[in-house]
Structure 1
Amino acid sequence: MSDTTDGQRAAEPNESDVDMKRAKADFREALLAANKTRNADEQLEKAVSTFCHGEKLLGRSPERVLVDAKQVIEESIDGENARLAERTVSICIQQYFRE
């Protein structure tokens, strides 16, 4: 927990605060759309950003976030588009470490 400006303890975010189910679904939909067009676009970048940021807010390590992201990638495009998978992982890493 972290302190607020008045000295009170702020609750750590949980999955309902971040709505990771929605973020994961949006991530999956964006991957499927990008796979269909064979192009990583703004929709995918936004979905990956939201997913990775949510995972980070939940206190997940970079390694855990990558494992979770790769699971979504595997479930969505299952090796059909290696270039898209690699690009998605790169976006996730960039977003996790973005200030």
Structure 2
Amino acid sequence: MSDELVERLKELSTRLIHVISEVRGEAPRLVVRSDAYHWRNKGVPAACFGPQPSLSAGVDDYANERDVADCAKIYALAAIDLMCLRRGASSATSPCLSAPVK
């Protein structure tokens, strides 16, 4: 993986972690049983979030409506921030994605 790509992934995951904290009111919890540890081992901040994974792994699986709505808001705000479209977002707290990785 190129250094430039790792830096871009760091920008993306850092922004996503910030938005998760903003929407949910607390920092995301690191989960050991996830693919995120592969990224963390490469030095890329990574977080797992979403509708309770523990509730969606069985016969009677389901997701809470509030969690699904939060996830949609988190993805939308992170995308808007990364495109530098949210009012009041500065590049220091909301890094914009720059030119495509070569």
Instruction: Return the TM-score normalized by structure 1.
Output: 0.29
Q: Of Structure 1 and Structure 2, which has the larger fraction of its residues in strand?
A: 1
